[in-house]
């Protein structure tokens, strides 16, 4: 989700509605452009193991395991291993180093709340502290808020992997949890597979974006972005499309515009254009870890760009802003989460004016609203998923 930042307003956005994830990600995901002030460096609470008589598996959550250097070591030397932990308050982060897990191992990680009101978030990292997988709710309608992660560990040089657990940021939820890790050794990652993305400027009635809503959209007109762009619709569409291609240059991602013809017969993701949202430039239906769903969709609210900046952008700046936003939402549909780096395409912390400039995929720290530690290497993830083309 790419959220708008109200002009003249600096600070944290405390009333942002919680968006719910599926698979690795969030159902109905919007990019946040305000600065989110969640505390990440606070001292962690002292952890006391509960009475063992109430446990069905070992309690391995130890004091001070809130960063990678102090993660609790957990030896996962069997095909299935079960242990327990506890989130004691909204500032608690639990990190576990998963022993005997190597690159190419297939993991299923099932987290179940066993007490309290815990709304857990789970993430897997490699030894470079780079995100490998992320999940909040396992169902898009939030009917099951227990995280579930299924992945094959990547990274040819990785020798250690970490599992992190927090309460959903800002929720204040707490409670105990049980983790079941099931391992299949040396399965090897699936081969990279390209993705087709269809940019649908045609509009239409009853367009459904799952987990987001149903929309009646008019055919795209550049004046939707502001009166300064009236009469420049064809040029604007062409430039938006070229910006998206530039952002994915080198990766096996094919961009097709509705100006080129009807949607392709092959599986493809769709980006719709039109409408207005008071808080968001765009929303995607999910963050799709591993790009398992090749037919997911997102919507870019073109009228939301009108008046959203500190000045009237030039034609080129507006095309870049929309193109950056489209590329960002495609990133969600490929499994990327929000980061905190103004120059990185998945950033969700900088003001609206920043998207008027070039942004590129790279390695950046995670947005605090995703997870309080770790980074995302978007280039590496896209390479694993899509593969490379060109020289």
What does R_g of the chain's alpha carbons equal in angstroms? 21
Distance, CA of 64 to chain centre? 27
Of 40-44, 61-65, 332-336, 372-376, which range is least confident? Answer: 40-44
Residues with Cβ < 8 Å from 304, sequence gap 6 or more? 4, 276, 277, 278, 280, 281
Between residues 8 and 214, the one the model is more confident about: 214
How is residue 99 written in tokens? 């022993």
The tens digit of pLDDT for each residue in 226-265 reads 999 999 999 999 999 999 999 999 999 999 999 999 999 9
Read off φ and ψ for residue 237, nearest 5 degrees.
Answer: -60, -45
Q: Tens of pLDDT along 76-119?
A: 999 999 999 999 999 999 999 999 998 899 999 999 999 999 99
What integer best gives the mean pLDDT of the chain? 88
Is residue 18 predicted with pLDDT exceeding 50? no
pLDDT of residue 1: 81
Does 378 have pLDDT greater than 70? yes
pLDDT of residue 321: 98
What element of type H or E holds 363? Answer: strand 363-365
Rounded CA-CA distance 124/105 in Å is 13
Give the bridge partners for 334, in sequence order.
none
pLDDT value, residue 156: 57
> Residues near 355 by Cβ (< 8 Å), separated by ≥ 6?
2, 33, 281, 320, 321, 324, 325
Residues 6+ away with beta carbon under 8 Å from 213: none
Residue 274, sorted as left (phi over 0), alpha (psi -120 to 50) or beta, turns out to be left
Quote the pLDDT of residue 37: 27
Q: Coil, strand, or helix at residue 7?
A: coil
- Rounded distance between C-alpha atoms, residue 278 and residue 256, angstroms: 28
Residue corresponding to tokens 């001070």: 64
- pLDDT at position 155 is 62
pLDDT at 42: 31
Beta bridge partners of 271: 199, 298
Task: Identify the CA nearest to 367 among candidates 182, 169, 116, 192.
Answer: 169
Range in 16-30, 159-173, 215-229 the model is least confident about: 16-30
Q: Using an 8 Å Cβ cutoff, are 151 and 106 in contact?
A: yes
Which pLDDT belongs to residue 34? 35
Between these two residues, 217 and 6, which has the higher pLDDT value?
Answer: 217
Rounded-to-integer distance, Cα 177 and Cα 172, Å: 15
Domains of the chain: 2-36+191-386 (3.40.390), 52-184 (2.60.120.380)
SS3 sequence, 132-189?
EEEECCCCCCCCCCCCEEEEECCCCCCCCEEEEEEECCCCCCCEEEEEEEEEECCCCC
Q: How far apart are CA 345 and CA 320, in angstroms?
A: 12
By the 8 A CB rule, do 253 and 197 touch? Answer: yes
Distances (CA, A) of 57 to 15, 132, 178: 38, 26, 8
Rounded distance between C-alpha atoms, residue 13 and residue 366, angstroms: 17
Residue 291 pLDDT class (50, 70, 90 cuts): very high
- The structure's pTM equals 0.88
Q: What does the alpha-carbon distance between residue 191 and residue 193 come to, in Å, rounded to a whole number? A: 6
Output 171 or 19, whichever has higher pLDDT.
171
d(CA 110, CA 83): 11
CB atoms within 10 A of CB 31: 26
Share of residues in the chain with pLDDT > 70 (%): 85
């Amino acid at each position: 989700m790419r959220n708008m930042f109200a002009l003249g307003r600096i600070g944290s956005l405390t009333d942002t509605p919680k968006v719910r994830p599926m698979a690795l990600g969030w159902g109905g995901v919007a990019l946040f452009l305000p600065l989110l002030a969640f505390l990440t460096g606070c001292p962690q609470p002292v952890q006391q193991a509960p009475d063992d008589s109430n446990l069905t598996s070992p309690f391995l959550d130890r004091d001070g395991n809130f960063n990678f250097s102090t993660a609790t070591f957990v030896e996962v030397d069997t095909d299935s291993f079960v242990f327990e932990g506890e989130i004691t308050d909204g500032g608690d982060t639990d990190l576990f180093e998963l022993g005997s897990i190597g690159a190419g191992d297939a993991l299923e990680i099932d987290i179940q709340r066993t007490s309290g009101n815990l709304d857990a978030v789970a993430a897997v990292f490699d030894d470079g502290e780079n995100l490998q997988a992320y999940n909040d709710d396992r169902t898009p309608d939030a009917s099951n808020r227990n995280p579930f992660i299924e992945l094959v560990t990547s990274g040819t040089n990785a020798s250690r992997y970490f599992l992190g657990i927090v309460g959903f940021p800002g929720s204040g939820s707490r409670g105990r949890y049980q983790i079941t890790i099931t391992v299949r050794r040396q399965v090897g990652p699936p081969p990279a597979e390209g993705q087709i993305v269809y940019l649908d400027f045609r509009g239409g009635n009853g367009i459904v974006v799952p987990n987001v809503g149903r929309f009646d959209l008019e055919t795209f007109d550049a004046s939707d972005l502001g009166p300064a762009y009236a009469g420049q619709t064809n040029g604007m569409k062409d430039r938006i499309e070229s910006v998206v291609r530039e952002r994915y240059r080198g990766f096996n991602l094919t961009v097709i515009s509705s100006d080129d013809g009807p949607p392709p017969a092959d599986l493809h993701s769709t980006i719709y254009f039109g409408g207005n949202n008071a808080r968001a430039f765009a929303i995607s239906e999910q963050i799709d870890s591993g790009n398992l769903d090749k037919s997911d969709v997102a919507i870019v609210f073109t009228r939301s760009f009108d008046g959203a900046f500190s000045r009237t952008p030039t034609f080129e700046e507006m095309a870049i802003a929309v193109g950056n936003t489209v590329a960002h939402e495609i990133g969600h549909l490929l499994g990327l989460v929000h980061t905190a780096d103004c120059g990185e395409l998945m950033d969700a912390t900088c003001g609206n004016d920043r998207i008027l400039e070039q942004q590129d995929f790279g390695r950046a720290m995670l947005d605090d609203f995703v997870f309080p530690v770790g980074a995302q290497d978007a280039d590496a993830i896209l390479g694993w998923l899509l593969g490379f083309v060109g020289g």
